[in-house]
Structure 1
């Protein structure tokens, strides 16, 4: 049997690039992030300071070394899928999250300066479940994050 490289096999088999890969769905992206966080569940990650009180322009550019957002950005697959950096706004866009969901995942209000990686993974999985609750939709639309 002759040894073939992967590229050679792809050429011989006539596999098209668009058949080899598919873009990850929102749920798959979130699950990947949760898996990365679960790799070191007791690791302390830095939170972002009071995200709900920041103006939108500031909030979207918020980042912090060693945050849950950095764990996602360190992953080659998520970057390949289009995650451009480890800022609040980019994570919100890439993972398809609301400000309320982002607040639950990365804000200092809930856990203080740091949070266990495994705790964030649990929250990410909860957020990934289809359909926001009516209560979270109400809060997001009318009360929280309406500051200029």
Structure 2
């Protein structure tokens, strides 16, 4: 027992890190998808594109089951994205540091680490710049 070395393989830690990265990367994209689907359904119900400060998202489809499912399914990722936004940035940089330290000994590919980061950045900028002002309509 004295002469044995412990062979520490970080692959389990790295795999769990990538699973958490994919979860956080999906938050802004799921929020955007939900908002755009809500906007589409509201435009079907109103026969026009919903307008900011005129069409409240909560009051449009009160009797429409599809719209109600969309609005309730969209609030959860929107709230999670709002509260976990800064936590994700900290986690992303720490996971990149872990990757740079352990990528020589691990079989984890570059794809599994950097694709979630790229997806999050794309979704984040679309969410912040808000083309079509759908996010502003949702938050109104």
TM-score normalised by the chain length of structure 2: 0.26
Higher strand share: 1
Structure with max Cα Rg? 2
Higher helix share: 2
**Which gives a bigger RCO, structure 1 or 2 (Cα 8 Å, sep 6+)?**
2
TM-score normalised by the chain length of structure 1: 0.25
